[in-house]
Structures are given as C-alpha cells and as structure tokens.
Structure 1
Amino acid sequence: MKAHIFDMDGLLIDSEPFWRAAEIKVFSSLGIPFNEEMCRQTVGMRIDEVVNYWNNELALNMPIHSTANNIVDELISLVKRDGIALPGVYATLENLKANDRKIALASSSQMRIIEEVTEKLNIQDFFSVLHSAEFEKYGKPSPDVFLTTAKKLGVSPMECVVYEDSKNGMRAGIAAKMKTIIIPEFPEPHLSWHDEADIKWSSLEKFSLELSET
C-alpha cells in the first residue's frame, strides 16, 4: 500500500453531533419535525443530497442550495467553537508521516468545511491532497471521491487504504476497490454491515501500520 485516505466527519473529528444539531436546527426552522434518528439515515452523504433526500422522502420542496448552505454555516460555527480531534488521530497521522506514506483526506463535506476542520485541528500539513465530493457528480456511496483522490495522489486505487466511519463511506471505499477499514461512530452494538469492511476498529487508537497494509 502506498497511500492512506481518510474520511473526516466522525473519523478525524467528532462532528457528527454537530451535523445532527445543525440539520435539526435548520430543518425545524422550516417547520419540519426532525430528530437524531432521521439524521443518522443520511450519514456520509453530501449535504445537498441530504436535503434532496428529505425532499423526496417527505414530499417537500426545500430549496436545496440555500438550505444546505444554512446547515453548513451552522456546522462551521460549532466546529470553530467545540471541534476536537478524535482519539488516535494525531498518533496515526504522525506514524504514517514518519513512514513516508502518502496521506489524503476525502470527504463528503464541502471544501470550506474541510479547510475549517483541518485548520481547527492543526492537521492540514499532514495531507498532500484534500478533496471534497462536492466536486464530483455523485457523492458517497459512489466511489468517485476516492477514485479522484487516488488519481491526485498518483497511485492506483488498489494501492490505497480507506478509513471510514459510515456505511455510505465504507461502501464507496469498497466500490473503489480500496482496502477499507471501518471505525464506526457507534461501535456497539455490532451491525451486520460492518462485516463488509476489511477491518473494523473501535477507534484510530487501534491503528497499526502493519495491519492496515496487509
């Protein structure tokens, strides 16, 4: 393996609670009764696709662009105020850097969120590529964001390891034919879809370069 590609939300930063809070606040302001369980149905999807998903599911007509931007604005304010790295993040990135591996970040989040998060956590210098699914025709579970990232890194998809926390992200990694490690936001109880990944860890504190690459 030559490259390690990381998702961001729920993997590097505990931002999934921020996403849920932002979605509930914005959707509720539009008169939509929204709750955390509904938020979990769309984890790993691009935010414009989330808005479109609920338009279809609930027969709504929310403006996709402005609603998505309002959610992102609220999310960024929470990241700036309360964002912290999840356990094992710094040690993992330092290990990969020390072993001369290529490191990238490929997220469903918009680039402005990626830039805010990497700056907040002070991890931007670890990554040679930052890529957002906003620049792809399809978001996760489509493999597009990972395939483009591999191309930017100059490596074959089969030379990449993907780290993900969500089902949509995991399936995107598998579809890209990359080794896929799942570190679910809710590691217990075990869910059947976790078995689709090559490896499951409870957190990045379990990181092993040898295990990740064999």
Structure 2
Amino acid sequence: MVDIAAIFDMDGVLIDSEPLWCRAEVEVFNHLGVPLTESMSSQTMGLRTDEVVSYWYAKFPWTGANQSVVADRILSQVGELVATEGKPMPGAVEAVQLCRRMQLPLALATSSPMSLVHLVLKRLGLQDAFDVLNSAETEEFGKPHPAVYLTTAHRLGVHPSKCIAVEDSIRGMMSAKTAGMRCIVVPAAEERENPQFAAADFVLDSLETINQAWLERVIYSLYSA
C-alpha cells in the first residue's frame, strides 16, 4: 500500500454541525439586528467564525458588541449544542476507524477552533483517533486558503501530494486542492448539484460509501501512476 495520509474536515464531515452553526448564527446575529436567515447562512460555510462575523458586519454593520465578542457568543452556543445534540454524519466514525485499521497517517483540519474540536471528538468518541489535530484559527488565513492543509501535512510528515482530504464545502475543497492534495467531497444534499464540485476527485452522497476495498482502489487509482 502506498503511504497515504487521510485528512478529515470536521463540521459537516464528521459531525452534523452545520444546522447547529446555523441556529447559533441566526440567533446571535438577529439579536444584533442583522436580518440573517437560515438560507443565508450557507454563504459563509467553511469560514472561520471570525471571518463569518466580519462577513456579516461588512453587509450589516451593528453597534454595541465588537466582532470578537460576537464570535465568542456564537462559539459558546455551538459548543452547547454540540455537547447536547451533536450527531455523527452517516459513516463518519466508521470511516475514521477504517483509516486507523489501515494504519494511514490520520489528521483533522478544520476552520473551527480547538476548543470546539475537543468537544466534537468527545461527543463522537474519537478523542484518540487522530495523529494530528489542526485548526485554521492558528493560520493567518482560513479556508479556502491552503494554509491549514499545508500545515497539517507538514505536522503529519507526509507530502501534500500524498494526502487525501475529506471535505463537504466548496471552500474546504478549494483549500485542499490548492494545497496539492486529492479530495473526496461529501456535499450537503442541497449543494450536490453545484458544478464547482467537479474539481473534486470523488463526490460521494455519504461516507457510508467508503469501505476498505473502495479506499484501496482509490489510493491505487490516484497514486500508483
């Protein structure tokens, strides 16, 4: 087997947290007078929380709470929702466990802060599953910039060209591809027909598709040439 690393995004890949982010953002922003709706929240999918706040402040500037405070409020609410309601995406835990059994170097690369990462992994029972945990909060730029993926590959000790990223968003996919990685995307149902996902190497309806035989075929097809 070629020495390949697997790098998973978190929100929308491992945990069904996008609806939780949406609820928290709508509540916090509405309280500030920002007319955010659930459908509008998809515009910032894949961004760091500080970038989400900056995005909506640019469109609907508010007075009172500064952007850092607003970001903290959103994160606090999401953390509470994850701890009480968080559910794994179909096939997510099994896919991570499969990579462990196959002894692939394994990492998580997310736009979410590490405080939320630890809550999610505890909720999913995956506290010890990953060799590397990396958050874009420590990077100058978040996704779609490739920094978080490049740093993750470096920390794994694996060249980016030998990494397969698992993503769910356009920004996440662009981040991985720009880093020089191959990318499997699992878009939300309402996003599946987005033509931009054609840039991915594989587009799946669910991580339940992934089993050892499938993953071995993918690795050989992508990297044996």
Deviates more, 1:57-66 or 1:141-150: 57-66
Match of 1:110 in 2: 113
* Cα deviation 1:22-41 (Å, max 9, x = unaligned): 00010011121110121100
Letter in 1 for 2:36: F
Letter in 1 for 2:176: G
Taking structure 1 as the reference length, the TM-score comes to 0.96
> What is the CA–CA distance in structure 2 between the aligned matches of 1:178 and 1:160, rounded to whole Å?
5
Match of 2:128 in 1: 125
Match of 2:90 in 1: 87
Unaligned stretches of 5+ in structure 2?
Answer: none
> What is the CA–CA distance in structure 2 between the aligned matches of 1:108 and 1:168, rounded to whole Å?
10
Match of 2:6 in 1: 4
Letter in 2 for 1:186: A
Letter in 1 for 2:90: P
> What is the CA–CA distance in structure 2 between the aligned matches of 1:57 and 1:211, rounded to whole Å?
46
Match of 1:212 in 2: 218
Number of aligned pairs?
214
Taking structure 2 as the reference length, the TM-score comes to 0.91
Match of 2:23 in 1: 21
Q: Cα 1:168–1:188, aligned 2, differ >3 Å: closer, same or farther?
A: closer
Q: Cα 1:189–1:119, aligned 2, differ >3 Å: closer, same or farther?
A: closer
Match of 1:68 in 2: 71
Unaligned stretches of 5+ in structure 1?
Answer: none
RMSD (CA atoms): 1.3
Deviation at 1:90, TM superposition (A): 2.1
* Cα deviation 1:114-158 (Å, max 9, x = unaligned): 010001111121101011000000000000000000000001000
Percent identity between matched residues is: 41
Match of 1:36 in 2: 38
Letter in 2 for 1:98: R
